[in-house]
Amino acid sequence: MFTVVVNSQKGGSGKSTLCRILGVHLARQSHNVFLIDLDEQGTLRDWHESRENEEPRRVELGAEGLAAGLPMLQEHGADFVFIDTPPHACEGLGEVFRLADLVLIPVKPTPDDLKAAAVTVRILKSYSVPFLFVINQAVQNTNITAQAIAALSHHGAVCETLIINRVTYPAAFTDGRTPEEIDQKGTAAKETANLWKNIQTYMNANIQVLRSASNG
């Protein structure tokens, strides 16, 4: 089982978006995927409740119950668990990070989001957690997007695939779907598939090395 925590110390960065599109993408590949929403706003929860398709499944677990709950999910055959988190430091967040195999940090290419990303990185580095940046709501071929990628690369690895600001994302989320479920050959669906390939490449190249370093 692989546990992915999605975190940013800023609201509206796209945490729920990543949980939704990646969770659905893997579930459609016949993986056993579970979603957990730790954010009191409940964006991921509300989206899942509006779905007609049960997959990926969602479980009710608080931060205090993760240490006991994740092994139970593994016993039930979970392949992947995606955990949406609050956009601020909260009680138990450190323990959530410790349980993660990887933390994804969605970042919009704005000055405010870049500042928030630096705060998130400081927190994660204090727990020696592997992390990866994902540019979200990007505008293609703009200086501000290129500058954001350059700035983030000083702190850590940045996914090659960008989540472009497309109307297809909010349109699909409205009724509990993702763009991939509406048009599996569409641009947004390809974007999700490429994003997951980037994440897999990073995991294969770095996770074992990072774990060994943190254990040493």
Give the model confidence (pLDDT) of 7-55 as tens digits.
Answer: 988 888 899 999 999 999 999 999 999 999 999 899 999 999 999 999 9
Helix (H, G, I), strand (E, B) or coil at 197: helix
Q: What is the pLDDT of residue 16?
A: 96
pLDDT computed for residue 213 by the predictor: 39
**Sign of the Cα pseudo-torsion (161, 35, 214, 212, in order):** negative
Q: pLDDT tens across 183-202, in order?
A: 999 999 999 999 999 999 99
CATH number for the domain running over 2-215? 3.40.50.300
Of all residues in the chain, what percent carry a pLDDT higher than 90?
73
Query: pTM of this prediction?
Result: 0.91
- Residue 4's pLDDT band, with cuts at 50, 70 and 90, is very high
CA-closest candidate to residue 77, choices 27, 35, 31, 28: 31
Confidence of residue 211 (pLDDT cuts 50, 70, 90): very low
Domain limits, the chain: 2-215
DSSP 63: G
Residue 206 pLDDT > 80: no
Structure confidence at residue 161 (pLDDT): 96
Query: How much is the pLDDT for 149?
Result: 94
**Buried-state track 186-206, b at ≥16 Cβ within 10 A, e below 16:** eebbebbbebbebbeebbeee
